[in-house]
Structure 1
């Protein structure tokens, strides 16, 4: 079927015109309204001078305006480059140039940081950006206000304009970004047909139907946000409840108010839910499943509803468990793919030799949604694929066979990166920036455990003789001053004279990760002792 996301939205709007598609604290939009407004905005973007195939960077939060802009671009054939509002000069400059972006969407009220002024500065450095569209705020001279796009032409004219856009299931829908271990994120083209199919497959895995309601409080423009919250309404006709930020008490209120059936999350949500003591004050009986990256057993015990772990990678694999699958699979693995056409293998990381179930190896996969190629990066593509087209994730897993079905338990990463609440930090990139600091002779960045984010960054520094160590705050100011995104800055510093090395003389980051984990555990034990006294 040669269907696009725009086709799917039009069909769902015809089937459920008055059903809420997206709900936020600010507004509710029905499928008919969503279809009409995205037609108006999509045609207006073309009228401004953008053309199908043009790229547009997105620095927008989780709100209904972002939904409208994204689906308008999908209809017009404009390709969102899924940057995030936290990116700064380093990331936006490089990604804008590499993607060839001609437009930049920014949210004026996202935070205290002035994204509008930032976009204007970035356009001076990259004149290929012809249009800046300001969402949720005042548009200064030289930019376009989002609200004006809705009134640019009558709906009938907008629909005629969009009829001329020739798109199919194999056309690029969006440019997603990898969480690569080194340097800047790589660009991953994702396609109309495979995103529709991928969203339908994971929904089937979690027993999500047209009558379900999903809640989402993390970035919606991420791969996870689009597959878990943006696409299911279009594909199935269900309702997504959107939150602009993680707020556990408000989340529970919304679950009760809107009879949410499925909570989908990555990052810090599960630990914060577990820490929330007033859970019994909320009626969350509508929930059929809550899915998280880890600790699902503890979360299930706390919430009293089925919970399962998940796994997702932007290169194209989603794994999880249905609420009625075995407890071991839900709590002690990251599940299995919901797509019957996905092939998952565990390979020796140094070869293409399969690893037996029960033994740790590298998770590899291929299927309808798996990476075909990184955009403009043949070398990275070649390194990432096996000779028969399986994508090498760099994630180490153990395959467990339960009742004849394979489930995969995450053990750690082969590559050198940090997963801070779902945001990937490439260690080599940050180390390069830290090493520019006048006090620093050398820097190594490692993951340290964190109860809320899962991992945070710890910097091990060797200082120049006679120089004082920077504080965490001053180092962050230095790094953001260099244009690095704030979430990539280390949140602890350890000063050392040398680094541990392996038997072959390489820096032993495994030992460094163990060192900081042991220090944090000892500090926690000491704090617990003081509190008990």
Structure 2
């Protein structure tokens, strides 16, 4: 079984397209393998060995994809959000104990200012826009003694990411070569990817979703991935017309932005039929899933993933098996079960979703308390607690009721924000919604919701609350509905429930 990133790309055709971008020639698998060897040699000349950590701060696009794929075959990659401020870079670079930082040639931003006092090697990426997409070379300070030419093995770390912290310190998640290989193969199997497939990647490549589902799974299948320079709903359909993808993967907010422009791009959709669409990283509302399927005349494959699982855990199957709107599908790689939310045992019914398999991180780095809390042994296997609450139906499809930390506790009544979202999206005027907890002086928490209305539609807070009151118990009806032009999102485009009450300036209810 393939257990390293290098092995994933070793056997595909020399002239087969691998990495591309709108307006660029394709980097072939032969070119990618040669680039990987060149980058490994350059890193060793800089004194960077197989277990040294290389932070990467690059904009989205083919250079970022190729940098990840090549460096991860020779050292440890740590992609960081290029939108961070200097204080954030200072925290992450020091926390990672990075040996080097990769930035664009000519870059003089906050990552560089943060790296300078840490005595890190600064490696400059030089890309030739006339060369195939993703082609680059690195320059930097030569080491007095080159690092050994040894390449990483299956159990060596290939990728380090931080969990997105809410109130607590972000945790370091190391993912091994074997983790990445297992997850890429799980995804290509669940999507039945072949060398004839082409992904249009619009996901940020400092995030597990884009790195593994779009890039690594495509390359593992011998397929190609075209990397857009970020997500832009205004450019998506022109990119689609040029790249001619067979699929794309995105978060629900991106899908909704694409839907809002789909009607005026019907000819592009008809001329470039997709085999399927994929959604992950947040729950896809059932209404959006059905609208996407009807608009693109293709199945919508919702997947369930997280960083600690090297992305994918469950996935709605391709036809002829059913896609169930509102479900994140069936186990797609790792074993998936339900556990007691407090006791270390597996149960039937509703509880905490847990997984076990070769794609699961060995454990958080330097955080024994988090490892004790999040991993346990049962039935002879090591299980990881996802922090999500859900239940499996009779056919093994998983339905999530929400993050355990996001379940709204209104005076002892537990309310799933996903349930509230689903009901609000049935309102004909509502385009997008996120339900969340709002502080209450007596009940502890109260239900609130932020909504975006469809273009040309109107609705008042009272009308929306009255709509809810006919469809749900009174204690679930949002006490506040905030109507916005746009709901605040996190760096990866996900809607974030925790902290939204504070962001929107909602005072405690009286």
Q: Tell me if both proteins adopt one fold, taking TM over 0.5 as the criterion.
A: yes
> Is 1:119 the equivalent of 2:111?
yes
Length-normalised TM-score, structure 2: 0.73
User: Residues 126-152 of structure 1, C-alpha deviation per residue, up to 9 Å, x if partnerless?
Assistant: 23x232435669xxxxxxxx9553899
Question: SS where residue 227 of structure 1 aligns?
Answer: helix
Change beyond 3 A, Cα 1:136–1:204: same
Aligned counterpart, 1:189: 174
For residues 258-277 of structure 1, what are the structure 2 equivalents within 5 Å?
258-276=243-261, 277=263
For residues 200-215 of structure 1, what are the structure 2 equivalents within 5 Å?
200-215=185-200
Partner Cα separation in structure 2 for residue 454 and residue 353 of structure 1: 35
> Is 1:99 the equivalent of 2:40?
no
Shift of 1:457: 9.0
For residues 231-246 of structure 1, what are the structure 2 equivalents within 5 Å?
231-246=216-231
For residues 23-42 of structure 1, what are the structure 2 equivalents within 5 Å?
23-27=20-24, 28-42=26-40
- RMSD of the alignment, in Å? 3.6
User: Residues 264-316 of structure 1, C-alpha deviation per residue, up to 9 Å, x if partnerless?
Assistant: 11242211122122242213553111112413122112222111322111111
Aligned counterpart, 2:488: none
User: Are 1:181 and 1:417, in contact at CA under 8 Å, matched by a contact in 2?
Assistant: no
Aligned counterpart, 2:124: 133
User: Residues 363-413 of structure 1, C-alpha deviation per residue, up to 9 Å, x if partnerless?
Assistant: 1111111132101111111111124321111111121223xxx01112211
Partner Cα separation in structure 2 for residue 501 and residue 520 of structure 1: 32
User: Are 1:55 and 1:80, in contact at CA under 8 Å, matched by a contact in 2?
Assistant: yes
Question: SS where residue 124 of structure 2 aligns?
Answer: strand
Change beyond 3 A, Cα 1:345–1:3: closer
User: Residues 424-461 of structure 1, C-alpha deviation per residue, up to 9 Å, x if partnerless?
Assistant: xxxxxxxxxxxxxxxxxxxxxx9997988865999x7x
User: Are 2:303 and 2:328, in contact at CA under 8 Å, matched by a contact in 1?
Assistant: yes
Change beyond 3 A, Cα 1:520–1:75: closer
Match of 1:88 among 67, 70, 85: 85
Partner Cα separation in structure 1 for residue 151 and residue 303 of structure 2: 36
> Is 1:338 the equivalent of 2:323?
no
* Gap runs ≥5 in structure 2: 129-134, 409-416, 464-510
User: Are 1:267 and 1:454, in contact at CA under 8 Å, matched by a contact in 2?
Assistant: no
Match of 1:392 among 380, 385, 389: 385
Partner Cα separation in structure 1 for residue 47 and residue 194 of structure 2: 39
Partner Cα separation in structure 1 for residue 338 and residue 290 of structure 2: 25
For residues 30-429 of structure 1, what are the structure 2 equivalents within 5 Å?
30-76=28-74, 78-107=75-104, 116-127=108-119, 129-134=120-125, 149=138, 164-276=149-261, 277-282=263-268, 283-293=270-280, 294=284, 295-316=288-309, 317-327=312-322, 329-339=323-333, 342-357=334-349, 360-388=350-378, 389-402=382-395, 406-416=396-406
Partner Cα separation in structure 2 for residue 3 and residue 391 of structure 1: 21
Question: SS where residue 310 of structure 1 aligns?
Answer: strand
Shift of 1:80: 0.9
Partner Cα separation in structure 1 for residue 170 and residue 22 of structure 2: 33
- The structure that is helix-richer by fraction is 1
Q: What count of residue pairs does the alignment treat as equivalent? A: 422
Partner Cα separation in structure 1 for residue 432 and residue 43 of structure 2: 38
Partner Cα separation in structure 2 for residue 31 and residue 263 of structure 1: 20
User: Are 1:262 and 1:289, in contact at CA under 8 Å, matched by a contact in 2?
Assistant: yes
Partner Cα separation in structure 2 for residue 151 and residue 82 of structure 1: 18
User: Are 1:254 and 1:260, in contact at CA under 8 Å, matched by a contact in 2?
Assistant: no
Partner Cα separation in structure 1 for residue 103 and residue 138 of structure 2: 15
Shift of 1:41: 2.2
Change beyond 3 A, Cα 1:90–1:151: closer
Question: SS where residue 252 of structure 1 aligns?
Answer: helix
Shift of 1:36: 1.5
* Gap runs ≥5 in structure 1: 110-114, 138-145, 154-160, 419-445, 461-497
Change beyond 3 A, Cα 1:287–1:40: same
Length-normalised TM-score, structure 1: 0.70
User: Are 1:41 and 1:150, in contact at CA under 8 Å, matched by a contact in 2?
Assistant: no
